[in-house]
Amino acid sequence: MNQSLEHNPGKEVSPYSTSKALIEGVSDENQPGLLDYWRIIYKHKWSILAFTVLGILTAILIIKTTTPLYQSTSRLLVEPIAQNKQASLGAYEYVKSPRLFYQTQYEIITSRNIAKQVIRNLDLLNDKRFTSSITDEKEMFAPDKSFFSSPMAHAQLSTSGKLELYVDKLLNGLRVSGGSDSQIFNIKYQAVEPMLASDVANAVADAYINFGVTSRTKGAVQATDWLTQQEDELRVKLENSEAKLQEYKNTHRMLGTGSNQAISKTKLSSLAKQLIAAQSSRSDAEVRYNQILAINNKGDLNSISSILNNNVVVKLKQAELDQAREVSELSQRYGAKHPKLVTAKTKLRQAKKAVRRVVNQIVANLRKEVELTKAREQKIRSLMAREEASARDYQIKDFQLGKLEQAAAYNRRMYEEFLAKASDIESKTKFSVSNITILDPAHPIFKPFSPNIKRLLILCTIAGAFLGVFLAFLRG
């Protein structure tokens, strides 16, 4: 300090610089150094050591009094896909907002519904590993602790009430992470026993997968139920329409649409041909009969072909000619009253009568033929008129039958389409593929997750030592 105030002949010393030098000299003398700190620590080493030991003892006390917790982790692969609402059931697509999708999955996994399902599946209400601590239940769940004042009151709590209480207890030990940087989800559960922790973690994963599958197939199941109801209604309609169709066919003796009309057309065509033939026969018979009537008045029937071509007439005419020739020969030999001539003339008259009788029979037959052909023609015309009326009737009946057939065909088509749709949806409900895959199921880890003994000892030791040093500095 004296050196700093010495006069330097080459410099001029100002009052400001002299005051600054005095202040700096004083500060350097009052500022403690590392050696001073060390002296304080060394001086209070036993108190610092005592606080350090106290920290270690505190850590040991915490370790001894804290119930160890074991943690197990189930790792899942969750693909961000969802039902395409514009497509049919079973058509899925990747979501446009994976972050929102995964946040939703967090909420699903940690929902009370999943927790209840896990408790039911593992029967945790009757598992002493899960329900052993009634005191924790009173402190954690009961808003009115007097309700749990006795074990009997706790035993009288309904199953649903217990379930709600233990749901919170299960969710307190559940942790979910992942999905932000990958599609891997980590479902962690902490419990007082390693096996319980792994069982619950796996049960949560299974319940989550089942929830996803159920949610995906819920719409298909509802559609299947609706289609089943519609199927029953359509089956009844189909049976009724087919029964009406069959009854109509049986009543009117019809095979199908157009079948009776085809038969009627065939009959009409055949009758038309028969009518033409009948008309031709009638016309021919009338011509021959009229020709005979016209010639009959003249008495010369030998020019008619139907008579000339008759074998009986031919024979009788030949016998008549022979008898006439005999009469002619006998007339030249004998007189008019000769017995032979008289006999020959008698035979000639008999021959002519026989010819006339046969000719008359032929004429009568032609008259009958004309009448028969007219009657046959009239009958054919009557049959045709009746068949035409039947054809018109069949046309009306075919129209009604066609309506019944169309109704039955439409109901059958609708019924078969509904059956196919219901079968397709039912197959999707049975063979639904989940978007969640278990990569690593949880397994029991027998090293406690909490408390962390090593970390707790280090922290308590450091805290005790720091507290001892801090108090030493305060006293020093």
Closest C-alpha to 272, from 396, 385, 172: 385
Same domain, 413 and 440: no
Same domain, 309 and 276: yes
Same domain, 264 and 324: yes
* Number of structural domains the chain divides into: 3
pLDDT, tens only, 276-319: 888 888 888 888 777 777 766 565 555 555 555 667 777 877 88
Q: List, in sequence order, every residue forming a beta bridge with 81; answer none if it has no partner.
A: 94
Q: Please indicate, yes or no, if residue 247 is contained in any of the structural domains.
A: no
Same domain, 212 and 341: no
Q: Please indicate, yes or no, if residue 366 is contained in any of the structural domains.
A: yes
Same domain, 43 and 118: no
Same domain, 301 and 182: no
Same domain, 315 and 377: yes
User: Cα separation of 81 and 75, whole Å?
Assistant: 18
Same domain, 388 and 475: no
Q: List, in sequence order, every residue forming a beta bridge with 71; answer none if it has no partner.
A: 190
Q: Sorting pLDDT into bands at 50, 70 and 90, what band is 141?
A: very low
pLDDT, tens only, 351-406: 888 877 877 787 788 888 888 888 888 988 888 888 888 777 777 777 787 788 88
Task: Please answer whether residues 109 and 208 qualify as being in contact, where contact means their C-beta atoms are separated by less than 8 angstroms.
Answer: yes
Same domain, 291 and 390: yes
Same domain, 38 and 81: no
Q: What is the mean pLDDT of the chain?
A: 76
User: Residue 280's domain spans which residues?
Assistant: 259-428
pTM: 0.47
Find how far residue 411's CA is from the centre of its chain.
Answer: 19
Q: How would you classify the pairing of strands 70-78 and 184-191?
A: antiparallel
Same domain, 321 and 396: yes
Same domain, 173 and 113: yes
